[in-house]
Protein backbone atom coordinates (compact mmCIF):
# COMPACT_ATOMS: atom_id res chain seq x y z
CA UNK A 1 0.00 0.00 0.00
CA UNK A 2 1.58 3.30 -1.03
CA UNK A 3 1.19 6.71 0.59
CA UNK A 4 -0.57 8.02 -2.52
CA UNK A 5 -3.60 5.80 -1.92
CA UNK A 6 -4.17 6.88 1.71
CA UNK A 7 -6.98 9.18 2.77
CA UNK A 8 -6.40 12.40 4.69
CA UNK A 9 -7.53 10.76 7.95
CA UNK A 10 -5.14 7.85 7.41
CA UNK A 11 -2.25 10.25 6.67
CA UNK A 12 -3.01 12.23 9.84
CA UNK A 13 -3.05 9.02 11.90
CA UNK A 14 0.24 7.90 10.31
CA UNK A 15 1.84 11.26 11.13
CA UNK A 16 0.72 11.00 14.77
CA UNK A 17 2.12 7.43 15.01
CA UNK A 18 5.49 8.61 13.60
CA UNK A 19 5.56 11.47 16.14
CA UNK A 20 4.78 9.02 18.96
CA UNK A 21 7.60 6.72 17.81
CA UNK A 22 10.05 9.63 17.75
CA UNK A 23 8.94 10.69 21.25
CA UNK A 24 9.38 7.13 22.59
CA UNK A 25 12.82 6.82 20.93
CA UNK A 26 13.88 10.06 22.59
CA UNK A 27 12.62 8.81 25.96
CA UNK A 28 14.45 5.50 25.47
CA UNK A 29 17.72 7.16 24.55
CA UNK A 30 17.33 9.42 27.61
CA UNK A 31 16.92 6.34 29.83
CA UNK A 32 19.85 4.49 28.28
CA UNK A 33 22.09 7.55 28.45
CA UNK A 34 23.04 7.54 24.80
CA UNK A 35 22.63 10.65 22.71
CA UNK A 36 22.55 8.86 19.36
CA UNK A 37 19.54 7.28 17.67
CA UNK A 38 18.20 3.99 18.99
CA UNK A 39 19.01 1.07 16.64
CA UNK A 40 16.13 -0.60 14.89
CA UNK A 41 15.38 -4.29 15.61
CA UNK A 42 17.01 -5.19 12.27
CA UNK A 43 20.28 -3.56 13.41
CA UNK A 44 20.39 -5.50 16.71
CA UNK A 45 22.48 -8.69 16.39
CA UNK A 46 20.50 -11.94 16.35
CA UNK A 47 20.41 -14.12 19.46
CA UNK A 48 22.94 -16.91 19.66
CA UNK A 49 21.74 -20.49 19.49
CA UNK A 50 22.57 -20.98 23.19
CA UNK A 51 20.39 -18.00 24.12
CA UNK A 52 17.56 -19.31 21.96
CA UNK A 53 17.68 -22.70 23.73
CA UNK A 54 17.31 -21.07 27.17
CA UNK A 55 14.17 -19.16 26.18
CA UNK A 56 11.15 -20.85 27.73
CA UNK A 57 8.22 -21.51 25.44
CA UNK A 58 4.84 -21.67 27.16
CA UNK A 59 3.21 -25.09 26.97
CA UNK A 60 6.47 -27.00 26.41
CA UNK A 61 8.07 -28.99 29.17
CA UNK A 62 11.78 -29.24 29.75
CA UNK A 63 13.80 -32.43 29.89
CA UNK A 64 12.45 -35.28 32.02
CA UNK A 65 13.90 -35.24 35.52
CA UNK A 66 14.17 -37.87 38.18
CA UNK A 67 13.65 -40.94 36.02
CA UNK A 68 14.43 -44.37 37.39
CA UNK A 69 16.27 -47.11 35.58
CA UNK A 70 14.84 -50.58 35.12
CA UNK A 71 17.55 -51.96 37.39
CA UNK A 72 16.53 -49.51 40.13
CA UNK A 73 12.87 -50.50 39.86
CA UNK A 74 13.85 -54.19 39.96
CA UNK A 75 15.94 -53.63 43.09
CA UNK A 76 13.05 -51.87 44.85
CA UNK A 77 10.60 -54.62 43.84
CA UNK A 78 12.97 -57.34 45.11
CA UNK A 79 13.41 -55.53 48.43
CA UNK A 80 9.64 -55.19 48.87
CA UNK A 81 9.08 -58.86 48.06
CA UNK A 82 11.68 -59.75 50.69
CA UNK A 83 9.87 -57.58 53.26
CA UNK A 84 6.54 -59.30 52.54
CA UNK A 85 8.18 -62.74 52.74
CA UNK A 86 9.57 -61.83 56.16
CA UNK A 87 6.10 -60.76 57.35
CA UNK A 88 4.54 -63.98 56.08
CA UNK A 89 7.14 -66.07 57.95
CA UNK A 90 6.16 -64.29 61.17
CA UNK A 91 2.50 -65.26 60.73
CA UNK A 92 1.27 -62.02 59.11
CA UNK A 93 -1.80 -62.67 56.94
CA UNK A 94 -1.98 -60.81 53.63
CA UNK A 95 -5.73 -61.34 53.16
CA UNK A 96 -8.07 -58.79 54.67
CA UNK A 97 -10.40 -60.26 57.33
CA UNK A 98 -13.40 -58.59 55.63
CA UNK A 99 -12.90 -60.42 52.35
CA UNK A 100 -13.49 -64.14 52.15
CA UNK A 101 -12.63 -65.86 48.91
CA UNK A 102 -15.40 -67.82 47.27
CA UNK A 103 -14.90 -70.82 45.03
CA UNK A 104 -14.47 -68.50 42.02
CA UNK A 105 -11.79 -66.44 43.74
CA UNK A 106 -14.02 -63.39 44.13
CA UNK A 107 -14.95 -61.82 47.47
CA UNK A 108 -18.19 -63.05 48.96
CA UNK A 109 -20.93 -60.42 48.72
CA UNK A 110 -22.19 -59.29 52.12
CA UNK A 111 -25.95 -59.49 52.68
CA UNK A 112 -28.21 -57.54 55.03
CA UNK A 113 -30.46 -59.46 57.37
CA UNK A 114 -34.25 -59.02 57.15
CA UNK A 115 -34.34 -57.61 60.69
CA UNK A 116 -31.67 -55.01 59.85
CA UNK A 117 -33.55 -53.94 56.72
CA UNK A 118 -36.81 -53.66 58.74
CA UNK A 119 -35.09 -51.38 61.29
CA UNK A 120 -33.80 -49.08 58.50
CA UNK A 121 -37.27 -48.91 56.88
CA UNK A 122 -38.96 -48.10 60.21
CA UNK A 123 -36.45 -45.34 60.98
CA UNK A 124 -36.90 -43.81 57.52
CA UNK A 125 -40.72 -43.86 57.83
CA UNK A 126 -40.41 -42.11 61.19
CA UNK A 127 -38.18 -39.41 59.65
CA UNK A 128 -40.67 -38.78 56.81
CA UNK A 129 -43.60 -38.63 59.27
CA UNK A 130 -41.76 -36.07 61.37
CA UNK A 131 -40.91 -33.99 58.29
CA UNK A 132 -44.54 -34.04 57.02
CA UNK A 133 -45.86 -33.11 60.46
CA UNK A 134 -43.57 -30.06 60.55
CA UNK A 135 -45.12 -28.57 57.37
pLDDT digit string, tens, across residues 39-92:
666 665 555 555 555 556 666 677 777 788 999 999 999 999 999 888 888 776
Q: What is the predicted pLDDT for the residue at 3?
A: 67
Percent of the chain at pLDDT exceeding 90: 33
Q: What is the predicted pLDDT for the residue at 52?
A: 53
Label residue 38 by pLDDT band (50, 70, 90): low
Does pTM surpass 0.75?
Answer: no
Residue 58: alpha-carbon gap to chain centroid: 13
Amino acid sequence: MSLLNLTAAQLTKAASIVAEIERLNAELSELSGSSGPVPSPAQVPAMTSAAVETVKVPGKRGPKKGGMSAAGRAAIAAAQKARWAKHRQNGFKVESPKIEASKLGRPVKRKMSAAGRARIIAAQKARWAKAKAGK
